[in-house]
Amino acid sequence: MSVMGIWFNSTFQVERKLYSDEFGDEPYQPVGTIKGLIQPVGGRYSQRSGKESAEASYMLYTAVETVVEAGDRITDSFGRVFIAQFVQPEGISAQQDHQEIPLELVT
């Protein structure tokens, strides 16, 4: 079994805004499922003016042929929702066997 088959075994739901108007309130539409792996890559916790906030960053690793676009909404099996920031198609190793997609956790 390849490394891809071992690591990329979680299934995620993908939703996309299908209209061209970036600033509208159009709903997300389901476009399918993908296999991959999500890992936390950073986070920050701050407290200012008595208000607490937290930011979490995650990376989605998928096979290079997986279709994910910036702005897609990715939902995992726990119900957490992420937004794809951009797609790096060749991965950090430049092996061109996987792609890396930075995610922002929204819920």
For residue 49, the model assigns a pLDDT of 62
How many other C-beta atoms can be found within 10 angstroms of the C-beta atom of residue 72?
Answer: 23
pLDDT band, residue 39 (cuts 50/70/90): very high
Q: Hey, what domains does the chain have and what are their CATH numbers? A: 3-105 (2.40.10.270)
Strand partners, 28: none
How many other C-beta atoms can be found within 10 angstroms of the C-beta atom of residue 82?
Answer: 23
Query: CA 107 → CA 21, 72, 76, 88, 94, distances in Å?
Result: 24, 14, 11, 23, 31
pLDDT band, residue 1 (cuts 50/70/90): very low
Note the pLDDT tens digit of each residue in 53-97: 555 589 999 988 899 999 999 999 999 999 999 888 776 555 667
For residue 4, the model assigns a pLDDT of 57
The model's pTM is 0.76
The pLDDT mean for the chain works out to: 81
